[in-house]
Each structure stands twice: as C-alpha cells, then as structure tokens.
Amino acid sequence: MAETRNWRLGETTSKQLENFVEQMLKSASTMELAGKAQTVANEVIITHLMFEQYFIRNSSYACVSIEWVRTAEQTTISAISAGGSQGLLNIDWGSSGNMLDKVERVLKKL
C-alpha cells in the first residue's frame, strides 16, 4: 500500500540535500539511490530522488520517491513510498511506513 508524507523546512542549501542523500544511504545496509533528476525553473530547484531498499522480513523491495522543491524562502518535501508487499493480500508488513520513517528521521537531523 502506498503512503505519502509532506514536510516544510526553511531555506535549505544544496549541501543539505547532498547530506540528506548520504544519510539516507547510511540508514540501512540495503538502501540504494535508484535515481536522481533535477530541474531548475524560475528560481525554483526541483530535485527528484528515488531510493530502494530490500526487506529481508518479507523478501521484497520497497521504494520511496522524494520531491525536494527549493525556493529562496523555503523547501517543501513530498515523499511517496510503495512496494514491499507480497502475496494475494498485498501485505507489506510495515515496509512502506518504515521508508517514510527513515526520511523523517534524516530530515530531523538536517
């Protein structure tokens, strides 16, 4: 089951974004950065990140897609987690929420 969370931060820097990526990769031994894209338009920097993690407890992969929108005044972050479920009942055993919890823990350290 997909889950979504949103956060608002004050002004952030590109160094903080790099630190976020590093900390996400350190948050779990099986965490990988599956993709990154960046767009700049009208002084707004939009960075898309896709992280993927293997969960041993249910032998599946879960991912979290993050949109990091940075303006001069504030940063808005949206995260959507998906995957990690298995079987006919599509049970994910908490892996989607776990991915979002990791994002939140890393953001609190920035």
pLDDT tens figures, 17-71? 999 999 999 998 889 999 999 999 999 999 999 999 887 776 778 899 999 999 9
Model pLDDT, residue 62:
85
Instruction: Give pTM, 2 decimals.
Output: 0.86
Report the SS3 class of residue 102: helix
Helix (H) or strand (E) holding 49: strand 44-55
pLDDT in tens, 59-85: 778 899 999 999 999 999 999 998 755
Rounded CA separation 2/7 (Å): 17
Model pLDDT, residue 87:
53
